[in-house]
Amino acid sequence: MSRKVEIREGPMVRVGSDRGGWSNVQSYLVVLDGRELHPPLLKREAEALARKLKPRRSRSTQPGGLALRGEQEKEADELWRRIIYSKTSGGLCARCGRSRGLQAMHFVSRRKRQTRWEVSNGQPGCPACHWEMGMDHDKHMAFFVGKIGQAEADRLLLLSESRGGKVDMTLVLLDLHAEARKRGLE
């Protein structure tokens, strides 16, 4: 249900000036769904009130595709994370063997949509190792190449730089669900 907010010219009003004189000024009325809301106002005040009354777009008014895509990305992120955690036995860091605060680490940045949900693009790690590898590119590369091999690392890097347009989230979710079933997570 949309509210209709408009500003209409009101009567001329007499206003005192800073210098002690009087002048006639056009007043304005703020009208909400056909009803005048306020006594006559100056134009600036009427516009400010109208801005406050205008309906704001909320998340629920997004076009259906955008809202659905966001939900699909959240589902894919969560499923990918669970698959990555399952790569280690006992919830241990793949690098140092600690078990505190496990995180899913990406080889290629998660900002790169083409590789974000690739299962080979992640390893489970503790926060300390995740931070350390984020600060040292050579350690990061050596760790992931040691885990996935040079050929797969090169494939992920090449794929991440491709300009293939939008990622088909339906296919991503199908692949992730199949991988989760294979690992006994579903």
Average pLDDT of adjacent 10-residue blocks, the chain of 186 residues: 73 72 76 74 73 62 65 93 90 87 93 94 94 93 95 94 84 92 89
Residue 186 DSSP symbol: -
pLDDT of residue 129: 93
Q: Say how many C-beta atoms besides its own lie within 10 A of residue 85's C-beta.
A: 15
Question: Any residues with CB less than 8 A from the CB of 88 and at least 6 apart, and which?
Answer: 94, 102, 124
pLDDT of residue 60: 53
pLDDT of residue 63: 58
pLDDT of residue 59: 54
pLDDT of residue 39: 73
pTM: 0.64
Coil, helix or strand at residue 19: coil
As a residue count, the chain comes to 186
pLDDT of residue 162: 86
**CA–CA separation, 153 vs 149, rounded Å?**
6
